[in-house]
Amino acid sequence: MKATLFLHPKVLIGAVDKRLYGGFIEHLGRAIYEGIYEPNHESADEQGFRQDVIELVKELDMPITRYPGGNFVSNYKWEDGVGPVAERPVRLDIAWKALEPNTLGTNEFMDWCKKANTEPMMAVNLGTRGAVEAQELVEYCNHPGGTFYSDLRRQHGWENPHDIKLWCLGNEVDGSWQMGHKTADEYGKLAREAAKLMKGIDPSIELIVCGSSFSSMPSFAEWEATVLEHTIDLVDYISIHTYYGNPEDETAGYLAKNDDMDRFIKGVVATVDYVAAKKKSDKKIMLSFDEWNVWFHKSPTDTNSPEWTAARDLLEDVYTMEDALLVGGMLITLLNNADRVKVACVAQTVNVLAPIMTRKGGGAWRQTIFYPFAYASKYGRGTALKLTSDCPTYDTTFKGKELKNIPTLSSAASFTENELVLFILNRDLKNAIELDVDLSGFKLKKIIEWVELRHDNLKAVNTEYEELIKPVQKLGACLKNSNLIASLEPASWNMLRISLV
Active site residues: 172, 291
Distances (CA, A) of 63 to 60, 115, 121, 163, 168: 9, 12, 10, 15, 16
- Residues 6 or more apart whose Cβ sits within 8 Å of residue 33: 101, 103, 104, 310, 311
- Residues 6 or more apart whose Cβ sits within 8 Å of residue 364: 50, 52, 53, 56, 356, 357, 358
Q: In what order do the strands lie in the sheet with 383-385?
A: 12-15, 383-385, 409-415, 419-426, 492-500, 444-453, 472-473
Strand 286-294 to 237-244 pairing: parallel
Question: Left if phi > 0, otherwise alpha if psi is -120 to 50, otherwise beta: which for 237?
Answer: beta
CB < 8 Å & 24+ apart, contacts of 6-9: 6/387, 6/388, 6/389, 6/437, 6/438, 7/385, 7/386, 7/387, 7/388, 7/413, 7/437, 7/438, 7/439, 7/441, 8/385, 8/440, 8/441, 8/442, 9/385, 9/415, 9/441, 9/442
The Cα–Cα gap between 347 and 70 comes to 9
Query: Shortest CA distance to 399 belongs to which of 247, 241, 242, 258?
Result: 247
Distances (CA, A) of 197 to 180, 200, 201, 205, 457: 20, 5, 7, 12, 54
